[in-house]
Structure 1
């Protein structure tokens, strides 16, 4: 790709990122506000991150046990599920919701995670934190670093369980980003989508029977996650997810007396008004690139995967595409080498972009290259 093209591509990508961020956060909202009990609420489509509805979504608030979403994903990404977690004194003495861990008790990390996410065990959160990082303080550093990586810049964790603490807060928007990220993990998604789970109870004749506190799994079509929360300071909090017709929605409500109804109302709106539209189909022809001094004269460029984006029916009618493909490239060409990109616009706003690349390797067939090849063969 020429220097001029590289500059144009870099500038275009920067504009695309800015436009997508602004458009995703701005969103397209209901003509009339939804009747929600929540102080703060947001609905996003998980794969694109597009905000479909929001109410005070950027206000910093405590989030109670929805904190454990981050606790779980950090543990899953940093440890083996068959690790043995040994319960320490700090964990066994934690108040609030609990799975009644005893000091010295041993459980696989996988069982601890079910206790964390289904029964909302505050003791399990501390046991996991100490196992993963050696201490709660070091683990919360990992949580905060992960939040920054995800883009949840208005979030701060002070503990792994969500009990009231100074400098422990998030926003509905940030929690939705964290939730969407976690729901992309197969292990996490399986755990939070489980209604009941039986795990051992050391020193007892019976096992622990855990029931998921998230009623969305029972009461909402397509419900597949993720976590409830409550403290006096935070009020009732819920991150809830559901998938229908290949569209994964994540709804978050903070300080919501009627949290389940709120999330159902948000997702009802999302599924009724939006569909995940295919804007570019996998394998769709995008153009032709000539190759100078190559073993082949050129190659066709095709999109590598479906490009999806949540749109209303009205918005879908305003979609346009712009394809940029190099007319000529110089051999050699590497498979996967970027040779262009496709932008998708909604009216005058660019909403997504994808690179286009060479589908095969093409060798150099220039005179100079062939002379060098002959000389190399003579010398060897």
Structure 2
């Protein structure tokens, strides 16, 4: 039997019918993003630099949960350095003259005390639910021995994840003139964060009781009871400083479809929640479309087979179609993977498979490929085997005779 090596053929498909959502938003920069497949459903100046404010805390929590992987019950001690505080006017008048992580008197804190120890679990809840700037500093200092080292490690981590337009100088988001991100980068950071079960568990809570006399309330109107509570919300983070305006990062899910919204530079606090709900609902109201990528055809594909009597023709026994949402423009990759084959090949034999995946490598469709014709060994190659066989026989006779003469001696 003649063995043939596996063969792979690769080509790309683009779904051109994508229709980005047409939604007016108040935010200066905005994006609606599907973290599973990387699709951008809506964007408005999504790659323009912007001050993050407290939405930066998502990156701090992500880094600790994903990279540091510290035991949540571990005790972190609040140092004088981590809790140092200045009047906001003094610090902002000379932003390069003071450490960026120094707290400001009008910033949000949990009320941590110098010398006391706190479980990481409580600090993370304080970071994400109450937006405690002191919690951010204590987490950073204890995780990496110093806050500056933590920031170096965090920025390296983000670059390794492909987050290229973001540079953070402190773990909480208080103003620093060089501390910048984009709506697109924050969407990717949030996508990674909401892929962490512990992050989702924390960010989606309305309230957390530490068990040691400290109850932490979630300040996010999309999560807590009230006018803007959103039933499909998974969680998120608000942010505000004067230089940034009102920012928001949030994730929501409907029927297994998870989306992330980022809104930067809103003029009022309410605008960001209105924009978020409008964008989420516009996407979740979409109905899936279906498109046939490859039609059922007994001779859809062809390949040359070494030493065969002709080309192998193969096809699908069913149409290969994909369902997608109109606003999600998908870059698809199709791989035609041939099995290891042996001649002869008969019609109907399974000879390979067609695999369609998105640009992130997630397999969307796999379809079997069947032979559409019989394929024999090419008889024109037969004389080669006869020559080889005769040569081998002649060599065998020669060696036998030579061996006999040697024994006679």
* TM-score (structure 2 length as normaliser): 0.65
2:167 equivalent in structure 1: 156
Contact 2:249 2:263 in 1 (8 A): yes
Shift of 1:265: 1.0
2:221 is matched with which residue?
A: 215
Tell me which protein shows more helix as a share of its residues: 1
Asked if 1:244 corresponds to 2:254, the answer is: yes
Query: Which ranges of 4 or more aligned residues in structure 1 deviate by more than 4 Å?
Result: 1-4, 274-280, 307-310, 313-316, 319-323, 350-353
Query: Paired residue for 1:64, among 53, 59, 65?
Result: 53
Which segments of 5 or more consecutive residues in structure 1 lack a partner in the other structure?
Answer: 202-206, 281-306, 331-338, 358-380
Give the structure 1 partner of residue 297 of structure 2: none
The equivalent of 1:182 in structure 2 is: 193
How much does 1:210 deviate?
1.3
1:235 aligns with: 245
2:76 alignment counterpart: 85
Inter-partner Cα distance in structure 2 for 1:353 and 1:39: 33
Deviation at 1:320, TM superposition (A): 9.6
How many angstroms apart in 2 are the aligned matches of 1:75 and 1:352? 27
Partner of 1:47: 36
SS at match of 2:223: helix
Q: Is the 8 A contact 1:111 1:199 kept in 2?
A: yes
* 2:207 is equivalent to residue 196 of structure 1: yes
Deviations 1:255-301 (A, max 9, x none): 11211111111111111125598999xxxxxxxxxxxxxxxxxxxxx
Residue pair 2:167, 2:179 contacting (<8 A) in 1 also: yes
Question: How far, CA to CA, are the matches of 2:327 and 2:50 in structure 1?
Answer: 34
Aligned to 2:383: none
Task: Give the equivalent residue in structure 2 for 1:324.
Answer: 336
Confirm or deny: 8 A CA contact 1:60 1:171 kept in the other structure.
yes
Structure 2: how far apart are the matches of 1:194 and 1:225? Answer: 8
What SS is found at the alignment partner of 1:217?
Answer: coil
For the structure 1 residues 325 and 198, does the alpha-carbon distance in structure 2 shift closer, same or farther, using more than 3 Å as the test? same
**Alignment match of 1:225 (pick from 235, 239, 242):** 235
Deviation of the 1:216 alpha carbon: 1.3
* 1:58 positional shift: 0.7
Residue aligning to 2:87:
none
Q: CA RMSD in A?
A: 3.7
- In 1, Cα distance between equivalents of 2:327 and 2:29: 27
Seen in structure 2, the aligned counterparts of structure 1 residues 276 and 162 have a Cα distance that, compared at 3 Å, is farther
Distance, in Å, in 2 between the alignment partners of 1:184 and 1:279 is 31
Pick from 326, 351, 355: which aligns with 1:312?
326
Q: CA deviation at 1:46?
A: 2.3
Q: Is residue 37 from structure 1 mapped to residue 26 from structure 2 by the alignment?
A: yes
Query: Could you tell me which residue of structure 2 aligns to residue 302 of structure 1?
Result: none
Q: What is the alpha-carbon distance in structure 2 between the residues aligned to residue 341 and residue 74 of structure 1?
A: 38
Q: Which has the larger radius of gyration?
A: 2
TM-score for the superposition, normalised by structure 1? 0.70
